[in-house]
Structure 1
Amino acid sequence: MNFCIVILVLFAVRTDGRLSSYQRYRISSLTGERIALPMPDQLEWQAQELGVLIHFNLATYIENHDACPQGLVPPTSQFNPYLLSTDNWVQTMMDFGAKYAVLVAKHNCGFLLSPTNVTFPLNPSSKIVPYNYTVDYSPVKGVNILDEFIKSCNKQKIRTGFYYSTVTNNYLNVRQGYVQNDTLKEGQLNITQQTYSNIVLSHLRELWTNYGNLEEICLAPGMQDAIAKMLVELQPHANVFGGIGITTNSIRWIGNEHGHAPDPTWSTGTSADGGDPDSPIFCPAECDTTLQMFDRWFWGRHVLLRSLQDLIDVYHRTVGRNCLLMLDLTPDRSGIIPPVYANRYKEFDDFIRSCYDTSVRPSFQNSSADFLTYTLVFNAPASVDRSVIQEDQTRGQVIRAYTVTALLAISKDQNEWIAVATGTSIGNKKIDLWAKGTLLVLAVKLNITKTIDVPVLKSFTVHLCA
């Protein structure tokens, strides 16, 4: 194979005929196909593999609801985390192995976890009032939870981000991004649509200015043009979940909250599913899911936790399928992670480390001259039950299909290679649990059967896991 000449296209035609700066690709001289190119920030984000999404807000203090029901504006006096410790949160993150953390700064109630200087006019009187539905009007007045969170994470070098919902704000009577024209319920304020847009942009400016560089920003849709301009100005390196069309560092949703990515899952494409290998947009997938059962995001009294075996399955269906796993982290009403929750996160990490931190080491390994075959050879029969492949995506994801074969140590034919795994997308990581179970092998071979350019691997390893 000949190495291709890179042609970087910074602008490509959008579906509406206009030019877009969010398509970065090169043309393969081998096949003539487009290969979507990643931004360095996207690759760094994807390589982290594990993160947490912290749900802690007024919804934590509401019985029998995972988020604020429509129209409900709980009084700020309910928010009273008397043992609040973001250092405690970070300890659990470390025990889980999370590399980054996103905190829900504002959720559906409208309650903000930090003080704010934002003021706005009421409708129709035009009286100017402060945005007083914040932590500064609660029993823990004077504590900026966002600032505490950032400081705790920085001490342990955990990257940080914020989630801010633009779609729902009960305090301001907003649903689906629009101020409602109906009777106000208790605690709600009457504003115009333009005022709401101004409030959102002012809050985002505070979030993106006061807390340093952010690893990830999670946004619900809305006000894309204004938000895109502000992102370039304030957080140009942030990876944006829900940022398709407003940033080159976009991340896409996988389409469910079960922690189950489809197989294959590609690093390219913009739809909420397994992606599209032919897309000119590099947009890796994030799989968000809960530790608690029944899709419960905020802490709930008497809510059961998912079993360790279920979480192990989630790991293989997310990280093992080229997807980043974002697992919910749920402080309780005292403001700390309950011990039983912390223990489950630690059990999960213990499995990952015991299984994948070490590999069954070969005595010899080589690759073919055309980079299509990689062989691991063992100096003694080795027990193996799975393989892990990682593709170097610096110049794009190019592998389209592969097989893994094994040379059995116990066989009538000493040259019998049997197929143990097949697949298509590799990307950041592909884990194949061998359908035949644990095998005694003398060698294992990765065969790349379809590629649109010269493939480059980061690693190919085999493992035996309890």
Structure 2
Amino acid sequence: MRPTVHHIEPTPAQLAWQADRMGVFFHFGINTFHGKEWSDGTLPASSFNPTQLDAGQWVRTAREAGAKYVVLTAKHHDGFCLWPTALTDYSVASSPWKGGKGDVVAEVAAACREYGMKLGLYLSPWDRNAECYADSKAYDEFYLGQLRELCSNYGELHELWFDGAGSEGHEYDWAWIAALIEELQPGAMVFNMGQPTIRWVGNEDGLAADPVEYVVEQTDFSNYTVVTTKLEEALYLPPECDVSIRRGWFWHEDQEPKTLEHLLAIYYRSVGLGANLLLNLPPDTRGLIPEEDVARVREFGAEINRRFETPLPASVRDLGEGRWELDFGQPVTIDHLLLAEDLSGGQLVRSHRISNTDDGGLLASGGTVLASGGTFGSQRIHAFPAVTVRRLTVEVEGDGARLAAVDGFRTGAESVPEIAYLAPTDYPEDH
């Protein structure tokens, strides 16, 4: 009998990726030096010339944010390559930076090794510089050659990021691409296109929504179209929530980083709902993460650590029929609770309710409800007014569901932060 979509099991690599919870995006390239988001492949390679590029500073900043991996835009839609590819002259090899001998991908890879960070690479399928792009077969060979370089020369890759923007209507040989990845980087997560193992959340604001479904039958294509990609069968594809610390993905002198409150609000609505967060930190024309962004990231990472570095673990007793008793062993005061599902058999929890049965409420009636929601997946963070409890009851809808972990926290923050604004994400091609 074919399993239901909710019983589709993840791979160990998918579970390991979900346990990372947060990564950092680095959008850097020819656009950085022209104040653009998308360029058309005609900007001169000679304009790429960072004066103080320090990939170690990038990766250290990502680590201070709490990230476990980074994703670098090795090639954006303009086709400019941050490594000295043998397949086009439109790369760092044609720039004055380091006399044409530089390799940004290599420097980021080395920094990741130094600081214990996992490396991911973004290779745009759409290429506005490549003359062969209009010829699908010729471009497939060109693109596979670039992908082979990246998958062969920079060590183990944690993630390969395929952006659908601009590729509407273009046919790629995704089976060929998937075979190459399987050959050279079988452990890499594949983002959203071809034969994906993770998917895009569907917006560029960094926000998931309850329920966060890990098993889907289609994926959203890009932020610039309503097109979706229908999968041949339902797949376990946990979502990644991408968002930039500034309005733009690339650095712009006139932009400022989001507030701490806004970043915290994003964290609760991504990681706190069971998705991964990919926070973009764009280096400037010096080749450095701007000082104000570094300061904000340190503030953000420190606050996340302050709230969640000292858990109050609870033992779990199975009461049967999708109900568990949580016991902290003694009365504790908490204002947050983190729940994690055992996902080894797939995502099974459809909804849940947490009740306080220490306050005179009867177990049979569920007691006073502290929090409720849909899925909780790899982690679900609830915030509520502080309460002193010893025991709680968790009830779920979902046959065969199991709890993996439960932790309480006393943070001093008793609600999920509000998002004061949402920056527009409609970046035109000539921005």
| Fold shared by both chains (TM-score > 0.5) | yes
Equivalents in 1 of 2:271, 2:304: separation in Å?
Answer: 11
Letter in 2 for 1:445: T
Instruction: Report if the CA contact (8 A) 1:267-1:322 is conserved.
Output: no
Question: Once the two structures are superposed, what CA deviation does each residue of 1:150-186 show, in whole Å capped at 9, x if it has no partner?
Answer: 111011221111101112x232368xxx52xxxxxxx
Question: Once the two structures are superposed, what CA deviation does each residue of 1:110-151 show, in whole Å capped at 9, x if it has no partner?
Answer: 110011122xxxxxxxxxxxx111101111111111111111
Q: Which residue among 77, 94, 97 is the counterpart of 1:137?
A: 94
Q: Secondary structure at the match of 2:272?
A: coil
Equivalents in 1 of 2:163, 2:258: separation in Å?
Answer: 27
Pick which of 97-106 and 397-406 moved more: 397-406
1:53 corresponding residue in structure 2: 25
State the aligned residue count.
392
Instruction: Report if the CA contact (8 A) 2:123-2:162 is conserved.
Output: yes
1:334 corresponding residue in structure 2: 286
Instruction: Report if the CA contact (8 A) 2:201-2:208 is conserved.
Output: yes
Q: Which has the higher helix share?
A: 2
Letter in 1 for 2:80: F
1:172 corresponding residue in structure 2: 130
1:39 aligns with 2:39: no
Q: Which residue among 52, 58, 78 is the counterpart of 1:83?
A: 52
Q: Secondary structure at the match of 1:271?
A: strand
1:96 corresponding residue in structure 2: 65
Q: Which residue among 317, 337, 340 is the counterpart of 1:366?
A: 317
Equivalents in 2 of 1:282, 1:34: separation in Å?
Answer: 9
Aligned-pair CA distance for 1:271: 3.3
Letter in 2 for 1:138: S
Instruction: Report if the CA contact (8 A) 1:289-1:328 is conserved.
Output: yes
1:117 aligns with 2:93: no
Equivalents in 2 of 1:145, 1:352: separation in Å?
Answer: 30
**Greater RCO between the two (CA within 8 Å, min separation 6)?**
2
Q: Secondary structure at the match of 1:113?
A: coil
Name structure 2 gaps, 5 residues minimum: 165-171, 221-232, 413-431
Letter in 1 for 2:294: A
Equivalents in 2 of 1:432, 1:334: separation in Å?
Answer: 41
Letter in 2 for 1:149: V
Report the TM-score, using the length of structure 2 for normalisation: 0.84
Structure 1 stretches of 4+ with a deviation exceeding 4 A read: 411-416
Instruction: Report if the CA contact (8 A) 1:299-1:332 is conserved.
Output: yes
- Assess, with a 3 A threshold, how the Cα gap between structure 1 residues 346 and 237 changes in structure 2: closer, same or farther: same
Q: Which residue among 268, 292, 298 is the counterpart of 2:250?
A: 298
Q: Which residue among 107, 117, 121 is the counterpart of 1:162?
A: 121
- Assess, with a 3 A threshold, how the Cα gap between structure 1 residues 452 and 443 changes in structure 2: closer, same or farther: closer
1:255 corresponding residue in structure 2: 202
Q: Secondary structure at the match of 2:181?
A: helix
Aligned-pair CA distance for 1:378: 5.1
1:384 corresponding residue in structure 2: 334
1:406 corresponding residue in structure 2: 356
Q: Which residue among 176, 182, 187 is the counterpart of 1:232?
A: 182
Structure 1 residues 63-82: aligned runs within 5 Å? 63=35, 65-68=36-39, 71=40, 73-82=42-51
1:285 aligns with 2:239: yes
2:224 corresponding residue in structure 1: none
Equivalents in 1 of 2:371, 2:45: separation in Å?
Answer: 55
Equivalents in 1 of 2:259, 2:250: separation in Å?
Answer: 18
Name structure 1 gaps, 5 residues minimum: 1-6, 8-25, 119-130, 180-191, 274-278
Instruction: Report if the CA contact (8 A) 1:365-1:377 is conserved.
Output: no
Equivalents in 2 of 1:308, 1:60: separation in Å?
Answer: 25
Q: Which residue among 357, 379, 389 is the counterpart of 1:441?
A: 389
Q: Secondary structure at the match of 1:289?
A: strand
Counting aligned pairs with the same residue, the percent is 30
Aligned-pair CA distance for 1:195: 3.0
Letter in 1 for 2:244: T
1:3 corresponding residue in structure 2: none
Q: Which residue among 355, 377, 389 is the counterpart of 2:307?
A: 355
